Amino acid sequence: MSHFSQVKTQIRTLEPLQKALTDLGVSWKSGELRGYQGETATAEVVIEQDNGYDVGFRWNGTEYELVADMQYWQQPWTVESFLRKVTQGYAVQTVMTESENQGFALAEQQVREDGSVRLVLQRWNG
């Protein structure tokens, strides 16, 4: 019986997910998630934990779902807080990539007191 839990996300593109994790200071790789009693699962993003029970993101055909044995969660944030931070970073990375594709450049990035992120983009016409 699998001990891995899956948590749905709205994350659909791998590269912004990877960049968001890196920006949060989270080390990741691709490969096998380690779980309860040696159970493994393949994931596009694997975050190794010191306790031998990994956290990861795996494509389910629609989105990258969070996969982990929640009993052995060992991140500096709660699951909910971790997902909020990753999702916010993913959104920023997605906006930045799409903006650059349309000729915009980042002029200013500011994290506000409430934790929201303000981006100022500019594009020169001429």
| Secondary structure, 3-state, the chain | CCCCEEECCCCCCHHHHHHHHHHCCCCCEEEEEECHHHCEEEEEEEECCCCCCCEEEEECCCCEEEEECHHHCCCCCCHHHHHHHHHHHHHHHHHHHHHHHCCCEEEEEEECCCCCEEEEEECCCC
- Residue 3 clears pLDDT 70, i.e. is over it: yes
Domain span at 47: 5-122
**Number of structural domains, the chain?**
1
Residue 125's pLDDT is 77
- Residue 1 clears pLDDT 80, i.e. is over it: no
* 40-83 per-position pLDDT tens digit: 999 999 999 999 999 999 999 999 999 999 999 999 999 999 99
